[in-house]
Amino acid sequence: MVEATLWHPVADSSALTDGPLAARLLAHDLVLWRDDTGCARTFTDRCPHRGTRLSLGRVVQHEGRASLECPYHGWRFADDGACVLIASQPSFTPPASHAACAHEVQEAHGLVWVRLQPGDTPLPAFEAETDPQLRKLLCGPYDVATSAGRIVENFLDLSHFGFVHDGWLGERAQPQTPAYTVQPTPTGFVATGCRAWQPQSNRLSTEGSWVDYRYELTAAFSAVLTKLPQAQDGYRDVIGLFVCPLDEERSRVWFRLAVTDHDSSDDALRAFQHTIFTQDQPVLESQQPRRLPLAGGEVHCAADRSSAAYRRFLIERGIRFGAIA
């Protein structure tokens, strides 16, 4: 499965204290925890002894090193998954076959990322993360009863603003979507020349404005939006969408904000994003089928150029999780 070789976000870095913390990715249960150096670690959430969830266990010190202890018979697993203690047979040296199944993990953009199988695709880029002029903030997670593909497509969609976000990101009276350009990139595509009339483009906007939009698909289930409101000189919003495909029809969503708004409180910035996304969520959860239909069955118009490019991208890359091919 191609998706298993890609990096996916599974948890907020701040939610992973010592652990263990349960997570889910691609219909696969995971346990996350931190080793002595604070590095995130992840295993399949299943003890090799009797299949118990390791996330119900605890992180303990074993011979001077943090290890994960199973809640059932107390077997302990080192940070690489190796079984280092069978509590009932303390003098027995466990063989390699007794190891927990470890996966690669790293942290970026305020999130913990995992890939289930080795691959050569890098983590989705979010260049705004290192821009010192921008303030960063994580919003979410939102658990949404639909496929990751439906959520990405909604994020790339301009022509719903006047209806779903009337009075905020659009107006019913101005539903036209001006033409825009879509060009392929190594990780997906970029949509440029997008424009939308927005009564309330961001928390600080005080009047309606045309807003220039740029969308970039940075991975199968990640995208970056840059918004430049013409009425607010120097103002810039960069929003990263990071979706975890929990199951084929269930997803967890984070937004990474990188904005020039240094005045609003964290709560106020999150509240704005919450208002917008909870307008999208019921529409997203109503869409049938929940899996993105790649093989036809839906019709398109010229405003859907990004959606069409996204579906082509998934088909070309062989990504089928949460899709009907």
Q: Is 70 in the site for ligand FES (CB under 6 A)?
A: yes
Q: Interaction with Fe ion in 256-295: which residues (CB under 5 A)? A: 280
User: Please, what is the minimum distance in Å from the beta carbon of residue 44 to ligand FES?
Assistant: 13
Q: Kindly state whether residue 304 participates in binding Fe ion, applying the rule CB under 5 A.
A: no
By C-beta, is 26 or 47 nearer to ligand FES?
47
Taking a C-beta distance cutoff of 8 angstroms, is the pair 1, 317 a contact?
A: no
In order, the DSSP letters of 22-40 are EEEETTEEEEEEE-TTS-E
| Helix/strand/coil for 292 | strand
Among 7, 33, 43, 75, binds ligand FES (CB under 6 A): 75
Beta bridge partners of 206: none
Indicate which of ligand FES, Fe ion, none lies near residue 77 (CB less than 5 to 8 Å, by partner kind). Answer: none
Quote helix, strand, coil % in the chain, to nearest 5: 20, 35, 40
CB of 91 to ligand FES, least distance (A): 17
**Least separation in angstroms between CB 321 and Fe ion:** 23
Residues touching Fe ion, count (CB under 5 A): 1
Q: How far is the CB of 24 from Fe ion (least distance, A)?
A: 25
In the complex, minimum distance from the CB of residue 58 to ligand FES, in angstroms, rounded to a whole number = 12
β-strands 40-44, 83-85: how paired? unpaired
Judge whether 85 and 60 are in contact, CB under 8 Å. no
Of 28, 49, 214, 270, the residue at the interface with ligand FES (CB under 6 A) is 49
Stretch that binds ligand FES, among 48-56, 114-122, 251-259, 315-323 (CB under 6 A): 48-56
DSSP string, 40-66: EEEEESS-TTT---GGGSEEEEETTEE
Q: Which is nearer to ligand FES, 71 or 289 (CB)?
A: 71
First to last CA, the chain: 14
Tell me how far, at minimum, the Cβ of 70 lies from ligand FES, in Å: 3
Complex with Fe ion: residue 138 or 151, whichever CB lies closer:
151
> Does 73 engage in binding with ligand FES (CB under 6 A)?
yes
Rounded Cα distance between 292 and 305, Å, is: 16
Structure tokens at 159: 């022509």
Please give the helix or strand (H or E) that residue 269 lies within, else none. helix 266-286
Which residue, 158 or 220, has its beta carbon nearer to Fe ion?
A: 158
Q: Is 153 in the site for Fe ion (CB under 5 A)?
A: no
Least gap, CB of 73 to ligand FES (angstroms)? 3
Q: Rounded distance, CA 312 to CA 325, Å?
A: 11
203 binds, among ligand FES, Fe ion, none (CB under 5 to 8 A by kind): none
Output the CA–CA distances (angstroms, integers) from residue 293 to 26, 141, 149, 221, in the order listed.
Answer: 18, 25, 9, 16
Contact of residue 280 among ligand FES, Fe ion, none (CB under 5-8 Å per partner type): Fe ion
Site residues (CB under 6 A) for ligand FES? 47, 49-50, 52, 70, 72-73, 75
